[in-house]
Structure 1
């Protein structure tokens, strides 16, 4: 198997069959690692389904396309900015830009192409949702620099990756912002938790090259730290649902996702090279469980 395929790809056999340039472009946009766009897409679903307008499959289809395209564009921008740092980290040294297989000029062209897909999706939304979506661009542009200036780049990522909650909601309604603010804050705490798990893979290399992360900041208390952020996520989600629909049975819809997050922390083993990545990827199911809770709450007479 080609060593030019990044170690954490989820579709190694498919990617290996592609010619070199399409393979590199697919990896550059992380098409081989769909967990990223799942985690970007789920908050969009939270907002749409909590709004109480039914399944909204057409809208979710557009938002899914936008999540795939803009996650890809964001990853390309990150790789362009971080090329010199990526060369010094074992897991990222074989990325297309860091390794030199894709020039920065070509990477910028690929980023623009994916951004045009994102623009197409943006034009399907009403003006309020468009403005909220555009407001995220400053957060996206600043994210690659956060690991250089703060121990908590995961908090910034949380703001970026869960912005779709606000977009999905504002496409359908324009009220209950107190409830939505609590749920958004809970989503940020969720991202800090799962991205700390992801960062466990790179702690040694990050420490050597001077990259900051919550995994390094927590040190030996990483289990307790992740548990605290997951607990905060559930507490804030509960508050948001209560503000939206003050009914104990509505809050209890969060029980499955809460149990899933407890399982992640209880079975997390930083000493096992594969365990943190597997627990991180399991958040696609955490997102699905939270989405189900939002659908039940939003479409059972809420608001």
Structure 2
């Protein structure tokens, strides 16, 4: 491998690291599950949506562009905060690995790419109309911890928009005109919101002292690590309850016994996640955060897809 290739590969790795591309595995499976459900449930008119490669490409591009824009914006607005925090001082902007100007350009390009994808690839104009408000809400999360401890919930709601947006992109005005058609994606969105809120609180426990000293708002800074972990457990109990509701709400899409059976696995994974983290023992937060959450999202996608497509 020559030096040019190494340099190109290194630069790509820097950009993927900037936006934590590996963490796409948290939100993307739920967008994919919503896609499967939306294509397998009959429309209020009695028809089944037509599956087109162009639609799938548009959904994928929108997910990648929107998430990349929001993550890059987060790194821009948090650059000074990250530089002061020993845990985050090595991130790409405070460490000088990437320049601020090029990250600004990257954020702008991803934002334009997201809006353009809704226009060029998706089958109706609802995603285009909603694209700017959605993008503003996604990016707004990065500012939330400056004024509210509910920043974790903001992130949860931000990620929960993906199944709703996917559903409307595929099923269009018919879905809006028939509110009952929106029950399944709304319940799925609530599952995502409760799940993300809980695990983001766990992740934020690492910065409880720094946030408190810096005047930043977070559940751990406000209630302490022990209190924050209790709130995270409650959030995940709500998530498990909503998953049971989703089994009922998703019957029209084909959710059934496999999805119901995987609930037990998800419950065990949630219990394991909370067993890995205790007050004064935060060295396994990353393991609890990444490995467990990846397993949960992929298990739900696999089970839901099997039910909807093959059973």
Task: Report the TM-score, using the length of structure 2 for normalisation.
Answer: 0.78
**Aligned runs of 1:43-192 on 2, under 5 Å?**
43-53=30-40, 58=53, 59-60=55-56, 62-100=58-96, 102-122=98-118, 123-126=120-123, 127-173=125-171, 174=175, 176-192=181-197
- Cα displacement (A) at 1:60: 4.7
Q: Deviations over 1:265-293 (max 9, x none)?
A: 12334544541111110211111112123
- Structure with the greater alpha carbon radius of gyration: 2
Aligned to 2:247: 241
Residues 45 and 291 in structure 1, CA contact (< 8 A), matched pair in contact too: yes
Which consecutive unaligned segments of at least 5 residues does structure 2 have? 1-5, 42-50
Residues 60-83 of structure 1 deviation map (CA, whole Å, 9 limit, x = unaligned) = 554344433332221221122122
State the partner residue of 1:255.
264
Q: Distance in 1 between matches of 2:131 and 2:163?
A: 10
C-alpha distance in 1, partners of 2:277/2:206? Answer: 12
Maintained 8 Å contact 1:62/1:121: yes
Over 3 Å counting, the alpha-carbon distance change for 1:66 and 1:52 in structure 2 is closer
Please tell me whether the aligned partners of residues 49 and 291 of structure 1 are also in contact (alpha carbons under 8 angstroms): no
Matches of 1:230 and 1:74, distance apart in 2: 25
Question: What is the deviation of 1:132?
Answer: 4.2
Cα pair distance change 1:20/1:177, threshold 3 Å:
closer
**Residue matched to 2:216:** 211
CA distance in 2, matches of 1:22, 1:215: 35
2:15 corresponds to: 26
CA offset digits 1:92-115 (Å, max 9, x no partner): 223233345544332211212233
- Counterpart Cα distance in 2 of 1:28 and 1:82: 16
What is the TM-score of this pair, normalised by structure 1? 0.80
Q: Which residue of 1 aligns with 2:200?
A: 195
Corresponding residue for residue 225 of structure 1: 231
* Partner Cα distance (1:67, 1:248) in 2: 27
Deviates more, 1:170-179 or 1:228-237: 170-179
Cα distance, 1:300 vs structure 2 = 6.4
Match of residue 10 from structure 1: none
Aligned equivalents of 1:270, 1:121: Cα separation in 2: 44
**Unpaired runs of at least 5, structure 1:** 1-16
State the SS of the aligned residue for 1:36: helix
Tell me whether 1:291 sits opposite 2:301 in the alignment: yes
Instruction: Indicate conservation of the 8 Å contact 1:51/1:298, yes or no.
Output: no
Residue 46 of structure 2 aligns with which residue?
A: none
Q: Tell me the residue number matched to 1:277.
A: 286
What is the aligned-residue RMSD (CA, Å)? 3.1
